[in-house]
Amino acid sequence: MRSNGRKRPNATRPVKAKQPATRCNATSSLPWKLVSTSHQHTDRLGQVIGRVLRGGETIALYGPLGTGKTTLVRGIAQGLGASPMAVTSPTFVVIHEYDQGRLPLVHMDLYRIRTPRELESTGLTEYFSGLTVTAIEWADKGLAALPQDRIEITLHHRAVRRRTIQLLATGPNSDQVLARLRRQYSKTSGASRVSPRQALNREATTRS
């Protein structure tokens, strides 16, 4: 796992918001849970997400250090036609903008945000308009400022290369995106039809 000079104890402390904020206020569909068996697999999912976006979406990314949030954003950038190599997980810079793709992409990393004032100073809310797609790592630090309708993606470690990735729509627009994503993903990858055990066996075969 990459350390990034980041310390785990602070990683889970949320920014205090005046208004109580919840992860998901208006779930409009059931969560979609996938198992990724490699960083390429996560990257591919990101690419399909990038291809089905129509503009203006907010993608809130949750999950511990090194679970693949940046990897997924890199795939999204590629799916949008932007350079995936440009996408890094910034240690001190909170916001990166990418304009080379089909839609503008803003990649934020709120890991170091500690207070509502710091959150405000990022100008985060100004990005939630027009066609700009926003992908936000450590979105739990900015919950109070996020649009109601968003795609929530939660990643967890399961093994060295294995992650669970759960996607949830919290409003009608993100619901449509997820519906398109599920259709496209099932066309472009057999992974969604493969059980975790089959996927692992497949990986083991590839490695040997």
Ligand X SMILES: Nc1ncnc2c1ncn2[C@@H]1O[C@H](COP(=O)(O)OP(=O)(O)OP(=O)(O)O)[C@@H](O)[C@H]1O
**For binding to Mg ion (CB under 5 A), which residues are involved?**
69-70, 89, 137
| Distance (Å, whole) CA 170 – CA 28 | 6
Residue of minimal Cβ distance to ligand X: 68
Separation in Å, CA 13 to CA 17, 80, 140, 141, 191: 12, 32, 9, 8, 34
Task: Report in angstroms how near the CB of residue 149 gets to ligand X at its nearest.
Answer: 24
Give the pairing type, strands 95-98 and 105-109.
antiparallel
Task: Report in angstroms how near the CB of residue 191 gets to ligand X at its nearest.
Answer: 11
Q: Which of residues 13-72 bind ligand X (CB under 6 A)?
A: 36, 38-39, 41-42, 63, 65-71
Backbone angles phi, psi at 4, to 5 degrees: 60, 10
What string marks each residue from 62 to 91 as x (binds ligand X by CB under 6 A) or -? -x-xxxxxxx-----------------x--
State the greatest distance between any 2 C-alpha atoms of the chain, in Å, as a whole number: 54
Task: Report in angstroms how near the CB of residue 85 gets to ligand X at its nearest.
Answer: 14
- Which of 23/157 has CB closer to ligand X? 157
| Distance (Å, whole) CA 58 – CA 34 | 20
> Residue 4: left if φ>0, alpha if ψ -120 to 50, beta else—which one?
left
| Distance (Å, whole) CA 83 – CA 99 | 10
Q: For residue 173, state whether it binds ligand X (rule: CB under 6 A).
A: no
Task: Report in angstroms how near the CB of residue 56 gets to Mg ion at its nearest.
Answer: 23
Task: Report in angstroms how near the CB of residue 38 gets to ligand X at its nearest.
Answer: 5
Tokens describing residue 192: 């969604």
Q: Which of residues 152-171 bind ligand X (CB under 6 A)?
A: 161, 163
Q: Which does 38 bind (CB under 5 to 8 A by kind): ligand X, Mg ion, none?
A: ligand X
Contact positions toward ligand X, by CB under 6 A?
Answer: 2, 4, 6, 36, 38-39, 41-42, 63, 65-71, 89, 137, 161, 163
